Amino acid sequence: MNDTQETPVPILEMRGITKRFPGVLANDHVDLELYPGEVLALLGENGAGKSTLMNILVGLYRPDEGEIYVRGRRVEIHSPRDAAALGIGMVHQNFMLVPTMTVAENIILGLRDLPFVPDLAQVSQRIREISERYNLHVDPDAYIWQLSVGEQQRVEILKLIYRGAEILILDEPTAVLTPQEARELNKVIHMMTAEGKSAIFITHKMEEVMEFSDWVRVLRQGKLVAVKRTAETSPQELARLMVGREVLFRLERKPREPGDVVLELQDVHADDDKGLPALRGVSFTIREGEILGIAGVAGNGQRELAEVITGLRKVKAGHIFINGEEVTNKPPREIITHGVSHIPADRIGMGAVGNLPVADNLAMKGYRHEPLSSKLGILNPRRIIDFARRLIQTYRIATPTPQTRIKFLSGGNIQKAILAREINACKGLLVAVYPSRGLDVGATEAVRKRLLEQRDAGKAVLLISEDLEELLSVADRIAVLFEGQVMGIVKSDEADIELLGLMMAGIKDPAMLRM
């Protein structure tokens, strides 16, 4: 809370908020206060109730108990439209966009003060102005289905800025931004709070909590366990409050001599969903017992790279080899038979089937074979449940039962389920796209340990991440993509955030940076 001569009145109060789902007490009498000009960080493990609390605030859920006050007045929020009328806007972790509509159409969707036939050219121009000002570049005329996950998140941020919300709720908004872009977003937030607006910031990046926020509230298992002034706490204390134990922020990566080449790309070219070049002459190799990290701003070919390797996108030119055998443009199932596992960027749309139970989602890579099915191909439900229980325990997936439909889990726990399935099924090559995105510090630590375990077991790992600290601590080598081209490949021990950031901006020869 900013210091003033008079005690300020909260712009927002949530008192005794309680929300129950079948088998889950998501929020247990949670209190929250937010003051004008304040940035509040909301912390907690995956499934601690952060997103549920914010979804109540924006009208997606109704609380079972509790009261909400905005500017001192008790309010009933029945829908996102009610929340918007109160000046509350949210960038959701799982995007609230219509895939078949353009960026501009999504940004103005639902606005009441527009003419019957909106001037989309004027809207697009305004979007371009905002995106240029805040360095959140996206094409207003592109369809959402054509955009990468990172670009879709930029649309959500632009939508919030365009609509001029007074209370901004940001759920992992920097997960797909470079460090430079994250700093720009920080400037945006503080420009808004200087005008008296307020923000609630949900993140698992401790450095952002310390840099962005004024106060921190920590949830654990649905309960509020701590309220801290940011200046009077530390990342170590906050992590301990979140998970109840000490957390390692940097893991030891033991030296290892790589083995034979597992994956090789030779001058690979591919188009994006708009038919424009997305990969332009990409070449690299990954060996047994090696992690190759891929860095780059979202939309520079990372998604297309993962998809051409896993058979989900056609290669226009070039060759892809797995263990010396060419697999260029082979179908996904054949790629899987070569021992390839894939953790996709879009965990909801591609990584999981929401209406199926957790157990079925965990069994998707193994249900065709024994012991999950018989030699005749008949599924064994008891073995599937036993298999699921083992992975649930090993990966600490918070779910009421293995039979719970996976869509009822938090985003972080859905991610844990996908990780469990793909890592368990990996036989040689793991393609991991943003595997720790949206995970709490304890789960992130566990994911990185799993990746290093795969490396130490002789597997090859392609790790696509926008968390440069993650790449520097986990990867053996780091390749930087810019506009579909490899700017360079550097050993992680010889790289730093400044060097990678400049390469991400299109500087091709890193040696020039050392002169």
- 2 lies in a domain? no
Residue with tokens 């609230």: 96
Q: Residue 514 has what pLDDT?
A: 42
Q: Which helix (H) or strand (E) holds 456?
A: helix 441-456
| 335, 430: one domain | yes
For residues 325 and 480, give the distance between their C-alpha atoms in angstroms, rounded to a whole number. Answer: 26
- 119 lies in a domain? yes
Listed residues 243, 278, 302: the one ending a domain: 243
Task: Tell how far CA 375 is from the center of its chain.
Answer: 39
| 136, 226: one domain | yes
| 213, 99: one domain | yes
Looking at the structure of the chain, the number of domains it has is 2
Q: Residue 245 has what pLDDT?
A: 66
| 239, 256: one domain | no
Q: Residue 345 has what pLDDT?
A: 84
Phi and psi of 323, rounded to 5°? Answer: 55, 40
Phi and psi of 124, rounded to 5°? Answer: -60, -40
- 326 lies in a domain? yes
Q: What does each of the 515 residues of the chain score in pLDDT, given as a tens digit?
A: 455 445 678 999 999 999 998 778 999 999 999 999 999 999 888 778 888 999 999 999 999 999 999 999 999 999 988 998 899 998 876 678 999 999 999 998 877 777 777 788 999 999 999 888 777 788 999 999 888 766 787 888 888 888 878 899 988 777 656 566 677 778 878 887 887 889 998 877 787 889 889 999 999 889 999 999 999 999 888 888 887 766 555 667 888 889 999 999 999 999 998 899 999 999 999 999 999 999 987 778 999 999 999 999 999 999 999 999 999 999 999 999 999 999 998 888 889 999 999 999 999 988 888 888 888 888 999 999 999 999 999 988 989 899 999 998 877 788 889 999 999 999 999 999 988 876 777 778 888 888 999 999 999 999 998 778 889 989 999 999 999 999 999 998 888 887 887 888 787 755 544 43
| 172, 111: one domain | yes
The 8-class DSSP code of residue 348 comes to I
Q: Residue 512 has what pLDDT?
A: 44
| 293, 229: one domain | no
| 72, 183: one domain | yes
Q: Residue 208 has what pLDDT?
A: 82
DSSP helix/strand/coil, 303:
helix
432 with 462: CB under 8 angstroms?
Answer: yes
For residues 410 and 17, give the distance between their C-alpha atoms in angstroms, rounded to a whole number. Answer: 18
* Range of the structural domain that residue 323 is part of: 250-339+426-515
- 406 lies in a domain? no
- 324 lies in a domain? yes
| 279, 235: one domain | no
161: Cβ–Cβ under 8 A, 6 or more apart, which residues?
130, 134, 188
| 176, 263: one domain | no
- 146 lies in a domain? yes
How far CA 417 is from CA of 88, 106, 336, 358, 430, in Å, comes to 32, 30, 18, 8, 15
Listed residues 243, 269, 291: the one ending a domain: 243
Listed residues 196, 216, 243: the one ending a domain: 243
- 35 lies in a domain? yes
| 198, 323: one domain | no
For residues 428 and 426, give the distance between their C-alpha atoms in angstroms, rounded to a whole number. Answer: 6
Q: Residue 248 has what pLDDT?
A: 57
Q: What is the CATH number of the domain that holds 431?
A: 3.40.50.300
63 with 79: CB under 8 angstroms?
Answer: no
| 116, 201: one domain | yes
